[in-house]
Amino acid sequence: MRNMTPEQFREKVRSGAFSGPTAGVCDGYVQANLAILPKEDAFVFLLFCQRNPKSCPLIDVTDIGSAIPSASAPGADLRTDLPKYRVYRNGELTDEPTDLNEYWTDDMVAFLIGCSFTFEEALIRNGIPMRHHEEGVNVPMYRTSVDTVPAGKFSGPMVVSMRPMGAGDVVRAVQVTSRFPSVHGAPVHIGNPEEIGIRNLTNPDFGDAVTVRDGETPVFWACGVTPQSVAMHAKPSLMITHAPGHMFVTDLKSEQLGVI
Protein backbone atom coordinates (compact mmCIF):
# COMPACT_ATOMS: atom_id res chain seq x y z
CA MET A 1 0.00 0.00 0.00
CA ARG A 2 3.10 2.24 0.05
CA ASN A 3 2.42 3.40 -3.51
CA MET A 4 -1.35 3.87 -3.26
CA THR A 5 -2.80 7.37 -3.52
CA PRO A 6 -4.59 8.58 -0.37
CA GLU A 7 -7.89 8.34 -2.28
CA GLN A 8 -7.26 4.69 -3.17
CA PHE A 9 -6.21 3.84 0.36
CA ARG A 10 -9.22 5.56 1.97
CA GLU A 11 -11.55 3.76 -0.47
CA LYS A 12 -10.04 0.43 0.63
CA VAL A 13 -10.57 1.38 4.29
CA ARG A 14 -14.10 2.67 3.66
CA SER A 15 -15.11 -0.58 1.92
CA GLY A 16 -14.00 -2.56 4.98
CA ALA A 17 -11.11 -4.24 3.14
CA PHE A 18 -8.44 -2.85 5.52
CA SER A 19 -8.48 -2.14 9.25
CA GLY A 20 -4.76 -2.26 10.17
CA PRO A 21 -2.20 0.37 11.18
CA THR A 22 -1.16 3.02 8.66
CA ALA A 23 2.63 3.21 9.14
CA GLY A 24 4.24 3.11 5.69
CA VAL A 25 1.09 3.55 3.59
CA CYS A 26 0.85 6.27 0.88
CA ASP A 27 4.50 7.26 0.91
CA GLY A 28 5.05 11.03 1.04
CA TYR A 29 1.56 11.95 2.21
CA VAL A 30 0.71 13.52 5.57
CA GLN A 31 -1.02 11.33 8.16
CA ALA A 32 -2.95 12.90 11.02
CA ASN A 33 -4.24 12.16 14.51
CA LEU A 34 -8.01 12.45 14.92
CA ALA A 35 -9.99 13.89 17.85
CA ILE A 36 -13.77 14.37 17.70
CA LEU A 37 -15.65 16.33 20.35
CA PRO A 38 -19.18 17.64 20.71
CA LYS A 39 -19.72 21.35 20.07
CA GLU A 40 -19.94 22.13 23.81
CA ASP A 41 -16.27 21.16 24.26
CA ALA A 42 -14.98 22.16 20.82
CA PHE A 43 -14.27 25.83 21.54
CA VAL A 44 -12.05 25.23 24.56
CA PHE A 45 -10.29 22.33 22.85
CA LEU A 46 -9.60 24.57 19.82
CA LEU A 47 -8.33 27.22 22.25
CA PHE A 48 -6.11 24.57 23.90
CA CYS A 49 -4.64 23.66 20.49
CA GLN A 50 -4.08 27.35 19.65
CA ARG A 51 -2.18 27.81 22.93
CA ASN A 52 -0.12 24.64 22.58
CA PRO A 53 0.85 24.56 18.91
CA LYS A 54 3.88 22.31 19.42
CA SER A 55 1.84 19.59 21.13
CA CYS A 56 -1.37 20.10 19.13
CA PRO A 57 -0.53 21.40 15.65
CA LEU A 58 -3.80 21.65 13.73
CA ILE A 59 -3.87 20.35 10.17
CA ASP A 60 -7.64 20.77 9.73
CA VAL A 61 -10.79 21.41 11.79
CA THR A 62 -14.25 20.60 10.41
CA ASP A 63 -17.39 22.73 10.50
CA ILE A 64 -19.84 21.84 13.28
CA GLY A 65 -21.61 18.65 12.20
CA SER A 66 -19.40 18.06 9.16
CA ALA A 67 -17.21 14.95 8.78
CA ILE A 68 -15.52 16.33 5.65
CA PRO A 69 -11.94 17.62 6.18
CA SER A 70 -12.23 20.27 3.48
CA ALA A 71 -8.71 21.68 3.76
CA SER A 72 -6.76 18.44 3.86
CA ALA A 73 -8.91 15.88 1.96
CA PRO A 74 -12.17 17.26 0.58
CA GLY A 75 -13.17 13.87 -0.88
CA ALA A 76 -12.82 12.02 2.43
CA ASP A 77 -15.28 11.19 5.21
CA LEU A 78 -13.88 11.03 8.73
CA ARG A 79 -16.68 8.67 9.85
CA THR A 80 -15.50 5.84 7.60
CA ASP A 81 -12.01 6.53 6.26
CA LEU A 82 -9.84 5.61 9.26
CA PRO A 83 -9.09 1.92 9.80
CA LYS A 84 -10.01 1.94 13.49
CA TYR A 85 -11.44 4.36 16.07
CA ARG A 86 -11.69 4.60 19.84
CA VAL A 87 -14.79 5.87 21.63
CA TYR A 88 -14.41 7.35 25.13
CA ARG A 89 -17.31 8.24 27.41
CA ASN A 90 -16.38 10.36 30.45
CA GLY A 91 -12.74 9.41 29.87
CA GLU A 92 -13.37 5.62 29.73
CA LEU A 93 -12.72 3.58 26.58
CA THR A 94 -16.06 2.01 25.65
CA ASP A 95 -15.71 0.84 22.04
CA GLU A 96 -13.21 0.34 19.21
CA PRO A 97 -15.31 0.44 16.03
CA THR A 98 -14.10 0.47 12.40
CA ASP A 99 -16.57 3.20 11.45
CA LEU A 100 -18.56 5.90 13.25
CA ASN A 101 -21.91 5.47 11.54
CA GLU A 102 -23.68 4.74 14.81
CA TYR A 103 -21.86 7.47 16.79
CA TRP A 104 -21.82 10.54 14.56
CA THR A 105 -24.25 13.34 15.45
CA ASP A 106 -24.72 16.75 13.90
CA ASP A 107 -23.12 18.67 16.76
CA MET A 108 -19.67 17.09 16.36
CA VAL A 109 -16.41 18.82 15.41
CA ALA A 110 -13.41 16.83 14.14
CA PHE A 111 -9.81 17.94 14.72
CA LEU A 112 -6.92 16.61 12.61
CA ILE A 113 -3.63 17.03 14.46
CA GLY A 114 -0.18 16.67 12.90
CA CYS A 115 1.82 13.51 13.56
CA SER A 116 5.53 12.85 13.78
CA PHE A 117 5.65 10.51 10.74
CA THR A 118 6.12 13.59 8.54
CA PHE A 119 9.07 15.12 10.38
CA GLU A 120 10.72 11.69 10.75
CA GLU A 121 10.65 11.32 6.94
CA ALA A 122 12.41 14.68 6.71
CA LEU A 123 15.05 13.69 9.28
CA ILE A 124 15.72 10.40 7.47
CA ARG A 125 16.06 12.19 4.12
CA ASN A 126 18.70 14.33 5.87
CA GLY A 127 20.67 11.25 6.91
CA ILE A 128 19.63 11.26 10.56
CA PRO A 129 18.76 7.67 11.54
CA MET A 130 15.74 6.87 13.73
CA ARG A 131 16.76 4.43 16.46
CA HIS A 132 13.21 3.14 17.05
CA HIS A 133 12.98 2.20 13.37
CA GLU A 134 16.33 0.38 13.52
CA GLU A 135 15.17 -1.50 16.60
CA GLY A 136 11.69 -2.20 15.21
CA VAL A 137 9.76 -0.67 18.12
CA ASN A 138 7.52 2.31 18.86
CA VAL A 139 9.13 5.65 19.64
CA PRO A 140 9.61 6.14 23.42
CA MET A 141 7.30 8.78 24.94
CA TYR A 142 7.43 10.39 28.39
CA ARG A 143 5.24 12.57 30.56
CA THR A 144 7.24 15.67 31.52
CA SER A 145 7.23 18.23 34.32
CA VAL A 146 6.44 20.89 31.68
CA ASP A 147 2.80 21.98 31.87
CA THR A 148 0.76 22.71 28.78
CA VAL A 149 -0.99 26.09 28.76
CA PRO A 150 -4.49 25.27 30.04
CA ALA A 151 -7.77 26.20 28.33
CA GLY A 152 -10.99 25.60 30.27
CA LYS A 153 -11.15 21.98 31.39
CA PHE A 154 -8.15 20.97 29.27
CA SER A 155 -4.82 20.97 31.12
CA GLY A 156 -1.96 18.68 32.11
CA PRO A 157 1.66 17.83 31.38
CA MET A 158 3.26 17.89 27.95
CA VAL A 159 4.12 14.43 26.61
CA VAL A 160 7.31 14.22 24.53
CA SER A 161 8.86 11.68 22.20
CA MET A 162 12.63 11.08 22.30
CA ARG A 163 15.09 10.30 19.50
CA PRO A 164 18.79 9.82 20.35
CA MET A 165 21.42 11.00 17.86
CA GLY A 166 25.11 11.79 17.48
CA ALA A 167 26.03 15.29 18.68
CA GLY A 168 26.88 16.23 15.08
CA ASP A 169 23.29 15.65 13.97
CA VAL A 170 21.57 17.80 16.61
CA VAL A 171 21.85 21.19 14.87
CA ARG A 172 20.63 19.74 11.58
CA ALA A 173 17.70 18.05 13.38
CA VAL A 174 16.64 21.45 14.76
CA GLN A 175 16.89 23.06 11.33
CA VAL A 176 15.02 20.30 9.50
CA THR A 177 12.11 20.02 11.95
CA SER A 178 11.77 23.82 12.35
CA ARG A 179 10.49 23.80 8.76
CA PHE A 180 7.47 21.75 9.84
CA PRO A 181 5.57 23.52 12.66
CA SER A 182 2.33 21.74 11.73
CA VAL A 183 3.83 18.36 12.65
CA HIS A 184 5.29 19.41 16.04
CA GLY A 185 8.12 21.56 14.66
CA ALA A 186 11.46 22.09 16.39
CA PRO A 187 12.48 20.06 19.47
CA VAL A 188 11.26 21.27 22.86
CA HIS A 189 14.40 20.06 24.67
CA ILE A 190 17.92 18.84 23.89
CA GLY A 191 20.04 16.87 26.35
CA ASN A 192 19.56 16.19 30.07
CA PRO A 193 16.17 14.46 30.52
CA GLU A 194 15.96 15.49 34.20
CA GLU A 195 15.61 19.15 33.18
CA ILE A 196 12.09 18.32 31.95
CA GLY A 197 11.25 15.88 34.74
CA ILE A 198 12.20 12.59 33.06
CA ARG A 199 13.96 10.37 35.61
CA ASN A 200 14.77 7.33 33.53
CA LEU A 201 14.96 7.10 29.75
CA THR A 202 14.72 3.31 29.90
CA ASN A 203 11.23 3.47 31.38
CA PRO A 204 8.98 5.42 28.97
CA ASP A 205 5.35 6.15 29.85
CA PHE A 206 4.18 5.19 26.35
CA GLY A 207 5.86 3.27 23.52
CA ASP A 208 9.14 1.37 23.94
CA ALA A 209 12.62 2.13 25.28
CA VAL A 210 15.42 2.44 22.71
CA THR A 211 19.19 2.21 23.03
CA VAL A 212 21.00 5.50 23.74
CA ARG A 213 24.67 4.93 22.85
CA ASP A 214 27.65 6.49 24.61
CA GLY A 215 28.10 10.07 23.48
CA GLU A 216 24.64 10.37 21.94
CA THR A 217 22.31 13.25 22.80
CA PRO A 218 18.62 12.62 23.51
CA VAL A 219 16.42 15.06 21.58
CA PHE A 220 12.81 15.61 22.67
CA TRP A 221 9.83 16.72 20.58
CA ALA A 222 6.30 17.60 21.73
CA CYS A 223 4.13 14.57 21.04
CA GLY A 224 0.63 14.10 19.62
CA VAL A 225 -0.23 11.91 22.60
CA THR A 226 -0.46 15.16 24.62
CA PRO A 227 -3.93 16.24 23.45
CA GLN A 228 -5.38 12.75 23.95
CA SER A 229 -3.82 12.51 27.41
CA VAL A 230 -5.12 15.97 28.32
CA ALA A 231 -8.58 15.24 26.92
CA MET A 232 -8.87 11.94 28.78
CA HIS A 233 -8.01 13.75 31.99
CA ALA A 234 -10.73 16.36 31.28
CA LYS A 235 -13.28 13.51 30.86
CA PRO A 236 -15.53 15.01 28.19
CA SER A 237 -18.93 13.29 27.98
CA LEU A 238 -17.94 11.88 24.57
CA MET A 239 -14.65 11.89 22.69
CA ILE A 240 -13.70 9.85 19.66
CA THR A 241 -10.12 9.38 18.43
CA HIS A 242 -8.22 7.20 15.97
CA ALA A 243 -6.97 3.91 17.45
CA PRO A 244 -3.20 4.19 18.13
CA GLY A 245 -1.27 3.83 14.86
CA HIS A 246 -4.48 3.83 12.79
CA MET A 247 -4.24 7.35 11.42
CA PHE A 248 -6.09 9.43 8.84
CA VAL A 249 -4.25 9.74 5.52
CA THR A 250 -4.69 13.23 4.02
CA ASP A 251 -4.26 14.42 0.42
CA LEU A 252 -1.42 16.74 1.52
CA LYS A 253 2.14 15.97 0.49
CA SER A 254 4.55 16.20 3.41
CA GLU A 255 6.63 18.85 1.65
CA GLN A 256 3.55 21.09 1.40
CA LEU A 257 3.71 21.52 5.18
CA GLY A 258 7.20 23.05 5.06
CA VAL A 259 6.93 26.74 6.01
CA ILE A 260 10.03 27.64 4.02
Q: Does 152 bind a copy of itself (CB under 8 A)?
A: yes
**Cβ of residue 224: shortest distance to a copy of itself, in angstroms?**
17
Residue of 5, 94, 105, 175 interacting with a copy of itself (CB under 8 A): 175
Q: Does 58 bind a copy of itself (CB under 8 A)?
A: yes
Residue of 16, 27, 43, 105 interacting with a copy of itself (CB under 8 A): 43
CA pair distance 86, 101, nearest whole angstrom: 13
Q: Does 172 bind a copy of itself (CB under 8 A)?
A: no
CA pair distance 13, 150, nearest whole angstrom: 36
Burial (CB < 10 A; 0-12, 13-18, 19+), residue 31, is buried
CA pair distance 195, 193, nearest whole angstrom: 5
Query: In terms of CB distance, is 25 or 67 closer to a copy of itself?
Result: 67
8 A C-beta contact, residue 93 and residue 84? no
Q: Does 42 bind a copy of itself (CB under 8 A)?
A: yes
Best CA proximity match to 14, nearest among 83, 103, 104, 90: 83
Rg (CA), the chain: 18
**Cβ of residue 260: shortest distance to a copy of itself, in angstroms?**
5
Q: Which residues bind a copy of itself (CB under 8 A)?
A: 39, 42-44, 46-47, 50-51, 58, 61, 63-64, 70-71, 149, 151-152, 175, 178-179, 181, 185-186, 259-260
